[in-house]
Amino acid sequence: MNREEAKNKIVELKEELNQYNYEYYVLDQPTVSDAYYDQKLHELIALEEEFPEYQTSDSPTQRVGGEPLDKFEKVDHRVPMLSLGNAFNEQDLRDFDRRIREQVGDEVRYVCELKIDGLAVSLRYENGQFVQGATRGDGKTGENITQNLRTIKSIPLKIREEETIEVRGEAFMPQKSFLALNEQRKKAGEDQFANPRNAAAGSLRQLDPRIAANRNLDIFLYSVGEWEAATTSSHSEQLQYLKELGFKTNPETKTFDSIDEVIQYTEEWTIKRSELDYEIDGIVIKVDSIDLQKELGFTAKSPRWAIAFKFPAEEAVTKLHDIELSVGRTGAITPTAILEPVQVAGTTVQRASLHNEDLIIEKDIRINDTVVIKKAGDIIPEVVRVVTDERTGDEQVFRMPKTCPACDQPIEKIDGEVAWRCVNPNCPAQLKEGLIHFVSRNAMNIDGLGEKVIEQLFDHQLIHSIADLYKLQKGDLLALERMGEKSVSNLLEAIEASKENSLERLLFGLGIRFVGSKAADTLAAHFKKMDNLINASQEDIQDIPEIGEKMAQSIAAYFDQEEARELINELSELGLNMEYLGAEVEADTDSVFFDKTIVLTGKLEKLSRNEAKQQIEALGGKVTGSVSSKTDLLIAGEDAGSKLDKAKSLDIEIWNEAQMLEALEA
């Protein structure tokens, strides 16, 4: 066989085998025997070995994975992979439906999908070729696990159009693969996985892709991320297009016109979930229309147009032996139940949160009680109720102490709050928890500074505050246990590198109450510099969309503290970046919107509110959610309500949609 003949034969075999893979792993409808498939695969392997110049990345022979990696690289998601809000009962779903219809009207269709209990991943294709796969991570940054994802045979290495597109899905381990894996580990004397979710996540985070290749993972695709050439107008159309490209989507997905049908679907699958060969922990409900999704927009953490209905949690009965107290970074003292170990939803539970003293009193929970526990959302263990019939008289009523368990200083309960708090600013438990939070992945992301290292540094009195991290010396670190020359050098380099982080990471790391990573990003993008935020009033902060009154009050109160300002000054002097490093848009200073504060209200016909907001902000305007004396312009669509009335009372300029469109096109 000459080279041209070999090249043509390789192309023919690749197309033939990829089609067989699609029929077997995606459609579950094989058209050839395993023996015939193996024969063709071995023929392709032999040709590629003889003519390696014709071997390509989309060949079925390339699924076994490459050489082991030293570590996973970070991947920034171009479109964030957000989490979803939760619904736990019928009323939660009806409230979700009511909020949707109040904002966009009654013409709403919902798509319902089984919520696969696995690992969320992103797959990127360029010109039809699979080029990168990543974990969700914190939603903004994940890990590059391309080599491991290539081993999943239901993931096409080449799609049917030369598209550049990023898609999202849930990688999982089927029940039969999970049982076979645990049996294999049992025979080898190795620890068994607690559940298929942990097994799938552990498999995809192996540095050696050959391990993932032997785990028989699968995937369902459920959405599109970045897609510049988007042509679909609904989520259901997107799913259909994914199928046409060769992706595997869940066959149980349904579209409904009413929330009653959605609720019926959730009830059916609550009963039928055990019939599946893979685990699900709920149902995801999404507004079908892409335009309505854009109009509904997002909160700081999740889309307003989607929600996850979580199945009722599995319960178990066990003994509560003791109640321990822990002090968090904000001083909140949290009681935790110490339990007789018991299996719940596939994992062994020995501890469960009791949340606060009021809950313990309300449920009359006592030490030595027999209790019923469950996993809230199948994740967090909690005590549901006491089995009072099992009481023997040996039970002890729990009393909250008068002093902090970590520093022995008085504790207090703030009006309007249920938690007892230690108000000692030098409480070692608070300082330690604050430092652990500061170096965490979503905050300053300092590699090598895990919880155990922080505790070691703290216990040796090498650090007492955030600023002390940036004063650590090599000699001090080398004196610690399990800290060699290389690990110390790597740690100091990571600490130094963290000085270059963008402002939002520092804001989140400071641990200001109610400020999560998304809110920190919003604040940093708005104020640009730390000094601007420090000097902002509560009203200035509250004017930002997605920043509520409670959060704005907390931020303003934090920066009013002399200790907080001193810490910021010290960190600045130590070289930490105090500016937002996100992408800047060059605004048109000649635009009528430039440097104006604008409120959108009512229903727009030509643009969704989100589209209008984006166009106005691109021209230098600031779109806020509430009308105040600082509002320069209100744009009112149909059925404008109280915001229009307030704007009139404050004599604020008011436009209709036509005036806005004319100004946008000027």
* Tokens 């009654």 -> residue: 106
Give the C-alpha separation, 213 to 558, whole Å.
50
Residues 509, 445: Cα–Cα separation, whole Å: 9
Closest CA to 66 of 153, 148, 5: 148
DSSP state of 521: H
Domain at 597-665: CATH code? 3.40.50.10190
Torsion from C-alpha of 318, 322, 327, 332, nearest 10 degrees: 70
Class of domain 85-310: alpha beta
- What phi and psi values does residue 186 have, to the nearest 5 degrees? -65, -45
Give the pLDDT confidence score for residue 193 in this predicted structure. Answer: 79
User: Buried b / exposed e across 556-578, counting CB within 10 Å, b at 16+?
Assistant: bebbeeeeeeeebebbeeeebbb
pTM above 0.85, yes or no: no
Catalytic residue (choose from 14, 71, 115, 606): 115
Which stretches in the chain have pLDDT values below 70? Answer: 64-70, 300, 345-346, 376-380, 583-590, 665-666
CATH superfamily label, 503-573 = 5' to 3' exonuclease, C-terminal subdomain (1.10.150.20)
Contact by Cβ (8 Å): 172, 250 = no
Judge whether 363 counts as a catalytic residue.
no
Cα dihedral sign for 554, 298, 598, 625?
negative
Q: The domain at 315-413 falls in which architecture? A: Beta Barrel (2.40)
Q: How far is CA 362 from CA 336, 358, 572, 658, in A?
A: 16, 6, 47, 57
Rg of the chain (C-alpha set)? 28
pLDDT at 66: 55
Amino acid at 360: I
Domain with CATH 2.40.50.140 in the chain: 315-413
Topology (CATH level 3) of domain 3-63: Helix Hairpins (1.10.287)
CATH code assigned to 428-500: 1.10.150.20
Close Cβ partners of 597 (under 8 Å, ≥ 6 residues apart): 543, 621, 622, 624, 630, 631, 632, 633
Q: How far apart are CA 245 and CA 565, in angstroms?
A: 55
Q: Nearest CA to 229 among 220, 218, 238?
A: 238
* Closest by CA position to 235, among listed 250, 255, 218: 255
Residue type, 35: A
Amino acid found at 621: G
Q: How far apart are CA 636 and CA 641, in angstroms?
A: 9
Cα–Cα distance between 384 and 399 in angstroms, integer?
20
Of residues 647, 630, 653, the one with CA closest to residue 540 = 630
663 phi and psi, to 5 degrees?
A: -70, -35
C-alpha distances out from residue 568 to 436, 465, 511, 531, Å: 18, 12, 13, 9
Cα 472 to Cα 298: distance, rounded to the nearest angstrom: 41
d(CA 422, CA 425): 8
With left for phi above 0 and alpha for psi between -120 and 50, is residue 664 left, alpha or beta? alpha
Question: In DSSP terms, which residues pair with 310 in a beta bridge?
Answer: 282
Give the 3-state secondary structure of residue 460. coil
Domain(s) of CATH 1.10.150.20: residues in the chain: 428-500, 503-573
Output the six-digit token pair for 322.
């003791």
Strands, DSSP E only, in 358-458? Answer: 366-367, 370-376, 380-386, 396-397, 411-413, 420-422
